[in-house]
Amino acid sequence: MALPVKDQIKYWTIAAAILVLFLWLLGDILLPFVLGAAIAYLLDPIVDRLERLGTGRVLGTTLILVAAFFVVFFIFLLVIPLVIDQIRLLLKPRQI
């Protein structure tokens, strides 16, 4: 026996409200997992292409991780001197 449409709408609305509340309460905990899944989804085609070129999946993943490390490292090399200069300017006494 099927539920009437009115009851189905009521149950689905309650379920959706509980899901939204759950996601809102655990959003800070779930965010790293969602970001990790998104990054893996975006980088998978690159690993597939490297695999077709003859490298293994582990080697392709390692190459991507090493490349990402170097990108972050070079960004820090560019940003840190700028931040230090800005801090010096901020701490330097100014004449009015």
Tally of CA atoms within 13 A in the half-sphere of 49 that contains its CB: 7
pTM score of the predicted model: 0.58
Whole-number pLDDT of residue 3: 81
SS3 content of the chain, % helix, strand, coil (to 5): 85, 0, 15
What gap in Å lies between CA 44 and CA 78, rounded to an integer? 29
Tally of CA atoms within 13 A in the half-sphere of 35 that contains its CB: 6
CB of 96 closer than 8 Å to CB of 79: no
Report pLDDT digits (tens) over 27-65.
899 999 999 999 999 999 999 999 999 999 999 999 999
Whole-number pLDDT of residue 2: 82
Residue with tokens 């790293």: 32
Whole-number pLDDT of residue 1: 65
Residues 6+ apart with CB under 8 A from 12: none
Which sequence spans correspond to the domains of the chain? 5-91
